[in-house]
Structure 1
Amino acid sequence: MPEPDVTFPSWNAGREISLDPGSPEPLYFQVSRQLHAAIEDGRLPAGARLDNEIDLAASLHVSRPTVRQAIQSLVNQGLLVRRRGIGTQVVRSKVARPLRLSSLFDDLAGLGGRPGSEVLANRVEPAGEEVRELLEAPGLGHVRRLARLRTIDGEPLALMNNYLPDGVIDPDDDELREHGLYQLLRSAGVRLHAAEQSIGARLATEADAELLQEEPGAALLTMQRTTYDDSGRVVEYGWHVYRASRYAFNLSLTNWPQ
């Protein structure tokens, strides 16, 4: 769902933002810095809508390009979003997910959010050559194909696509809506052991944008993961896309002894 259209009459840019034209700090940066602080401390909560650029420029006694540059810097940081027909709004903080052998559903629940899923595909289909290679199973006849739209507190966050060898699990749509994939695998007795994972980025297609409520061409994070059980069998291959404005990966790095 889109961010709610919320009005916060108590926050006034002309009163809250103080600019110093004599400072070596550029005016756009002064505006951006103070808007950032207002978002961080809650004076501008998620969903709050800013005045348009002309009104903001007038209240701050600066040029419209100065305001536009300040807003764009916060859009680039994922703190503001421009929505067609709505204007510029504050967005929620990004979901920061640690990289570990867990499902997004479980991680979101652990972060205190309200995870949800819309099941887009849940079917068994013939396994083509490419799918057999991805699952490292040359003799595989059929595969379970899953596609889900993952949400947090009702807001779209990620598109989750998965192939599993047929017969590993046989979930119905309700189970996929209420549980993470790894939880379902473990409940079925699958002993997850390790995974190989790659992370990348791409731009949103029109289909991505419609499902994720982003603009076409918006930045998306991508992840491909191959998961193995303790016998070395591939039990799942996933390719997922995440809204870069709402999502980040956390990595822990270790200094190995020389």
Structure 2
Amino acid sequence: MKLRIDHKSHVPLHLQAEELLRNLIADPQYADGKFLPNEVDLARELAISRTTLRQALNKLVYEGLLIRKKGIGTRVAESSVSSKSKNWLSFSQEMKARGIPIKNFELHVSWAYPDEAVANFFEITTQKKVLKLERLRGRPEGPFVYFVSFFHPRVGLTGEEDFKRPLYEILEKDYLVIANLSKEEISAKAAGKFIAGKLEVEPGSPILFRKRFVFDQGERPIEYNLGYYKADSFVYTIESRRE
């Protein structure tokens, strides 16, 4: 693959380098654990400083797309999907931003009576039906996550929406509901028979289980989401900053 930086472009050099590195990562020549050219050779080929190149490399290491080992080199991370907790994007938007193609294997919409956990979160009774959205999603070659979402009746969803669109885009553009705050609980558990069947793993296999509680700008509850992830296909990254 021919690598080239446009030194006359208004786009900063480190951003151009980052885009080139993303293209390298997507190239079958470097996919799934292959080492990139060493920094000295790569910086020389691009006619940029190693500092500029490292700025681009560090961004992709942080995103989990590259793995760097001192004295060994930088290689492409094997194909697991990474998600950051500090990232207000829907799953579709986040995967698109990372260049990861996503396929919907199943999509079911229904109206259901909430259990006590959902009803208590929404502060409604268990006798009031809520919209339930179930989605089995993953790469084209197979599913790796099963989502179950419940929505507060106040949001106004009818069930007729095109849920192939990004969820938070639907809420914001169609219903003027802005998802502003997310609180999450993450744990490991063994897959039951139902979830194992969805994710195409053996019952009892380890999975990542995430509860997400989503609030609007007034900190009113709008979504109760459960996510079941294949443990060998997904990495959940948490960013913390000391104040």
Q: Bin the TM-score by the shorter chain.
A: 0.5 to 0.7
> Which shifted more, 240-249 or 158-167?
158-167
Q: Find the aligned partners of 1:231 and 1:132 in 2 and give their Cα distance.
A: 19
Deviation at 1:171, TM superposition (A): 3.9
Deviation at 1:196, TM superposition (A): 1.1
1:166 aligns to what? 153
2:98 aligns to what? 111
Amino acid at match of 1:107: E
Higher-Rg structure is 1
Q: What is the correspondence of 1:45-194 to structure 2 with a 5 Å cutoff?
A: 93-99=79-85, 100-138=87-125, 141-166=128-153, 168=155, 169-172=157-160, 175-176=162-163, 178-187=164-173, 188-194=175-181
Stretches of structure 1 lacking an aligned partner (at least 5 in a row): 1-37, 43-90
- Going from structure 1 to structure 2, the CA distance change for 1:106 and 1:137 (only over 3 Å counts) comes to same
Q: TM-score, normalised by structure 1?
A: 0.59
Runs of 4 or more, structure 1, over 6 Å off, are none
Aligned length: 170
- Going from structure 1 to structure 2, the CA distance change for 1:140 and 1:226 (only over 3 Å counts) comes to farther
CA contact (8 A) 2:32 2:78 kept: no
Deviation at 1:128, TM superposition (A): 4.8
1:227 aligns to what? 214
Q: Find the aligned partners of 1:126 and 1:95 in 2 and give their Cα distance.
A: 33
Q: Find the aligned partners of 1:198 and 1:130 in 2 and give their Cα distance.
A: 14
Q: Find the aligned partners of 1:118 and 1:179 in 2 and give their Cα distance.
A: 15
Q: Find the aligned partners of 2:107 and 2:118 in 1 and give their Cα distance.
A: 19
Q: TM-score, normalised by structure 2?
A: 0.62
Stretches of structure 2 lacking an aligned partner (at least 5 in a row): 1-30, 36-76
Instruction: Summarize deviations over 1:119-164 as a string: whole Å, max 9, x none.
Output: 4431123345443102233598220011110122342010100110
CA contact (8 A) 1:124 1:166 kept: no
CA contact (8 A) 1:164 1:237 kept: yes
Deviation at 1:167, TM superposition (A): 5.4
CA contact (8 A) 2:146 2:229 kept: yes
Equivalent position SS for 1:192: coil
Aligned residue among 15, 35, 40 for 2:33: 40
- Going from structure 1 to structure 2, the CA distance change for 1:180 and 1:154 (only over 3 Å counts) comes to farther
